[in-house]
Amino acid sequence: MDRRTLLCGLLALTACGTGAPTRKPGVGSARPGERVAALADVPVGSGALVDVGADGQLLLVRPSESEVRAFHPACPHQGTTVNPPAAGVITCPTHRSAFDPSSGAVLSGPSPKGLTEVAVAVSGPDVVLS
The answer on pLDDT for 54 being more than 80 is no
What is the pLDDT, as a whole number, of residue 120? 95
Secondary structure tally for the chain: helices H, strands E: 1, 11
Question: What mean pLDDT do residues 28-54 have?
Answer: 88
Checking if the pLDDT of 1 tops 70, the result is no
What is the distance of C-alpha 19 from the center of its chain?
20
Q: How do residues 69-117 score in pLDDT, each as one tens digit?
A: 999 999 999 999 999 999 999 999 999 999 999 999 999 999 999 999 9
- For 13, 24, 33, 125, 129, the CA distances from 80, given in Å and listed in that order, are 20, 11, 28, 30, 23
Compute the distance between CA of residue 118 and CA of residue 11 in angstroms, rounded to an integer: 36
Tell me what the mean pLDDT of segment 45-69 comes to: 89
Residue with more model confidence, 63 or 110: 110
Q: If DSSP codes are grouped into helix, strand and coil, which group holds residue 128?
A: strand
Taking alpha carbons only, the member of 46, 50, 24, 43 closest to residue 128 is 50
Q: Give Cα 1 distance to the centre of its chain.
A: 42
pLDDT at 28: 66
Whole-number pLDDT of residue 99? 98
For the chain, helix, strand, coil in percent to 5 are 15, 35, 50
Task: Report yes or no: 119 and 20 within 8 Å, Cβ to Cβ.
Answer: no
Angle, CA 74 vertex, CA 72 and CA 77 arms, to 5° = 130
| pLDDT confidence of residue 24 | 56
Instruction: Write out pLDDT tens, residues 2-40.
Output: 554 444 444 443 343 333 334 555 666 778 889 999 999
